[in-house]
Structures are given as C-alpha cells and as structure tokens.
Amino acid sequence: MRDVYQEQLDDLAGALAGMCTQVADAMRKATRALLEVDLQLAEEVISEDIRVDELRASAEEKAFALLALQAPVATDLRIVVSAIHGAGDIERMGDLALHVAQAARRRHPHPVLPDEVVPYFAEMGRVGVDLALKAGDVIRTRDLARAAQLETDDDAMDDLHRHMFTVLMDREWSHGVGPAVDITLLARFYERYADHAVAVARRIVYVVTGRMPGPLTV
Amino acid sequence: MRDVYQEQLDDLAGALAGMCTQVADAMRKATRALLEVDLQLAEEVISEDIRVDELRASAEEKAFALLALQAPVATDLRIVVSAIHGAGDIERMGDLALHVAQAARRRHPHPVLPDEVVPYFAEMGRVGVDLALKAGDVIRTRDLARAAQLETDDDAMDDLHRHMFTVLMDREWSHGVGPAVDITLLARFYERYADHAVAVARRIVYVVTGRMPGPLTV
C-alpha cells in the first residue's frame, strides 16, 4: 500500500514538473510571437492554453484523491498542499503567457514593441522561460541550492521590469501613450510570470525545511 | 469529537470571512488615499498589510491542522481545500490594495490621477470593496444566488477597466505617458482584486455543488 502511495506522490510531482515544461514552452512561443510579429505562433499559444488548464485540474484531482484516500500527515501533507498551490501558480503562468500572445495577436500585423525595447523583452522572455524550467527542476529534485537560484533570477527580472519604466518615462520616448500602455502591461505579465515560478520553488523549500524562504504569496 | 471538528470548520470559514472584511477595508482606505491624495491613509494601508499576511498564515495553519488531525473527506475536504485557495486569493487582494496605496505614496504630494479619471477610480474602488464584502458573505452563508451576483459585479469592473484604456488611447488625452502608465497599472490592480473576489465565490459554489461555475484560476 505504501508503495502505491509513494508512486502517487511521485506522479503528482511529475505532473507539476510537466506543467512547468508546458508553460515554459508557451512563454517561449509567446515571446517569439511578440518579437517576430508571428500571428500563427500567437494563435498556437492561445489555443494550447486549455491544455495547461486541464493539466491543472488533473493535478488537483490527484492531490484530492491523495488527501481523501491516504490522509497524509507531516511532510507528505506538506507535499500535497504545496502541489495544490503549485498547480495554481503554474496555471497562472500559462495564463500570463497567453496574455502575451493575445497582445501580439491584438496588434497584428503591427508589432506591439518599438525596436528599441525589443532586446529587453527578448531578455525578459529568456529569463522567464528559464525560471519556469528551473521551477520544474526544483519540483523534481527538491534541490534547495537550485531553489535559491530562482530568487536571484527573479531579481534580474525585477531589474528589467523597473528598467522598462525608465525607458517609458524618458523624454526621448517618442511612441506616445498607446505603445506605452501595451508595454506597461506586457512587462507586468513577465514580472508576474517570474513571481509565480519563484512561489513554486518557495513551496518546495517549505516542503523540505518546514519553513518558507519568503512571503507565502507573490 | 465531531462537534469540535464542525467548530474547527466554522472557525476556518470565519477566519476567511474576517480576512475579506480586512481587505475590503484596505481597498476602501487605499482608494481614498489615491483620490484624496492622503499620505497618512496610504501609510496606514501599507503598514497594516502585514496583518492580512498573518491572517492568511493562521488560516493555512487551521486548514493544515484539520487535514492532519481530522482527515476530512467529500464535502468537508472540499471545504478545507477551498479555504486554502481562498486564503491565498484574499491575501492577494490585500497585496493589490497595498499596491494602490504605494502608488498614492510614490507620487505624493502630487495626485496620481488627473481629475477626469477620478470618477472611474472612485467607482472601481466602490465595486471592489463591495465584491470583497460579498465574497465574505458568500463564505459565511454559502448562498449560491449571492455567489452568482459577484460574477455580474465583476462584469461591471471589467467594463470600467476596459473604459480606462479608451480614455488613455483617446486623442484628447493630454497628460502624457507617465500618468498613463500609472493608470494602466492601477486599473489592472482593481481588476485583479475583483477577479480574486470572484475566485473565492467560485470555490464556495464548488464546495456546495461539486462543480466550478468558471475557470479554476483567475
């Protein structure tokens, strides 16, 4: 019986790590759609978001079944509750990638981004995708050093986010209010995406150590 | 034993409903700070946010204790898991009220909002506070008709949110990029605040009916 139980716990972690890969892929494609003004890629991200929602529902069901049938305690209970939180965070990351793709679609065939901010969004995309993949690794390995790394990567994202405001507020900004509004929201989507990846890693630290390394919510 | 258990479940619901009152109060004050350019009120919201975080940690502990000691199943399990989700949503509402207060503080002694958008934010604040209080009612009463009402109120918030973009994108907009960026983020904070209130109500519908009336995440 215990073996089946352990298998169920591993299965739940595997499902969450798989969701991380999925939303990393979504953000990679959404960023390319944004930067390369690629409508087809944007549509792909938009139509595939339902799969992340399904994966989340399925992960929640697994967690629910574990709670109902195995009544876990101590560390195992922390694992299951953290998985419930994690599934929510990762689904939200998928939604944020979806929002990026929707912005690309909304302005098509025009680019959303003036040329001068393209490199920043390329970098935010890269950091974001990397954070999602690292969160998946942390779920699989429960490696605390790797979990700590996500906090550093998130600082890089915060710097990029702050920098975007400096660019927008600069006297040299010549693109007017419309693109500034789009960029404000897009930069926020990337920043929140990163925050949720960090939240996933923090929950794993909590599973292992019994203590949260930072705020419970992001 | 069953009586203690029922008391614990009621206690958990009471804690969540209390959190709703707290974040409604935070958003009421934050909106006033924003509209009346009131630094002291903004500071109050900022320093009180820690209390919401503590309430959330305490609600999670209650839920955890229930899972570990009572091993609830069926509806009771749904109640506890929904409470874990709800606590997260409501804490996030507190964070969003905090963000509004921080925006008011950042620009003080200057107003964040040009006069012409003040009425919209007054209305977004009113709808937001009302949604938080209604979410608390739904937690207390599990009244499905009341839960459905939150969806309608949220539509009103979405309309206000969309309308802000129309105002910003209008040729008549004379306040430049800086205020537009502030308003874009602020409008998003109110909209997200409302989304989380709706999520809380949806989880209660799920507790009562076993079915979610909308997406699991907002």
What are the tens digits of pLDDT across the range A80-133? 999 999 999 999 999 999 999 999 999 999 999 999 999 999 999 999 999 999
Specify the amino acid at residue A70. Q
In angstroms, the CA A81 to CA A30 distance is 30
Q: Which of residues 156-195 of A touch B (CB under 8 A)?
A: 165, 168-169, 173, 176-178, 180-181, 184-185, 188
Q: pLDDT confidence of B217, banded at 50, 70, 90?
A: low
Q: What percent of chain A has pLDDT over 90?
A: 93
Total Cβ atoms within 10 A of residue A29 = 21
Q: Which residues of B touch A84 (CB under 8 A)?
A: 81, 84-85
In this predicted structure, the answer to whether residue B218 has a pLDDT above a threshold of 80 is no
Q: How confident is the model at residue A1 (pLDDT cuts 50, 70, 90)?
A: low
How far CA B100 is from CA of A15, B53, B200, in Å, comes to: 36, 17, 21
Helix (H) or strand (E) holding B71: none
Number of structural domains chain A divides into: 1
Question: Which pLDDT score, from 0 to 100, does residue B3 have?
Answer: 83
Give the model confidence (pLDDT) of B44-100 as tens digits.
999 999 999 999 999 999 999 999 999 999 999 999 999 999 999 999 999 999 999
Q: What is the DSSP letter of A181?
A: H
Residue of A nearest to B169 (CA): A178
User: Does residue A216 register a pLDDT over 60?
Assistant: no
Residue A39 falls inside a structural domain = yes
Judge whether B102 lies within some domain.
yes
Q: Which residue has the tokens 């308003």?
A: B183
Q: pLDDT for B166-187, tens place per residue? A: 999 998 999 999 999 999 999 9
Mutant choice from B85, B91, B181, B200 vs A, greatest count of A C-beta within 10 A: B181
Lowest mean pLDDT among A115-124, A204-213, B20-29, B120-129: A204-213
Q: Residue A218: which pLDDT band, with cuts at 50, 70 and 90? A: low
3-state secondary structure of B210: coil
Q: Is A217 inside a domain boundary?
A: no
**pLDDT score of B210:** 84
CA distance A187 to chain B (A): 11
pLDDT for B54 equals 95
- Cβ-contact A19, A84 below 8 angstroms: no
Q: CATH number, domain at B46?
A: 1.20.58.220
Are the C-beta atoms of B164 and B116 separated by less than 8 Å? no
Element (H, E) at A150: helix A144-169
Residue pair A84/A63 in contact by the 8 Å Cβ criterion:
yes
What does the pLDDT average to over A7-18? 96
* Region class of B74: left (phi > 0), else alpha (psi between -120 and 50), else beta: left
Which residue type does B185 have?
A: L
**Does residue B24 fall inside a structural domain?**
yes
Residue B216 lies in a domain: no
Rounded to whole angstroms, the Cα distance separating B76 from B155 reads 31
Interhelix angle A74-107/A177-209, nearest 10 degrees: 170
Q: A196 vs chain B: nearest CA distance in angstroms?
A: 12
A159 located within any domain: yes
Does A216 map to a domain? no
Q: Residue B200: which domain range?
A: 2-209
> Which tokens in the block code for residue A203?
């929950």
Report chain B's mean pLDDT, rounded to a whole number. 95
Q: Which residues of A touch B177 (CB under 8 A)?
A: 168-169, 173, 176-177, 180
Residue B215: inside a domain, yes or no?
Answer: no
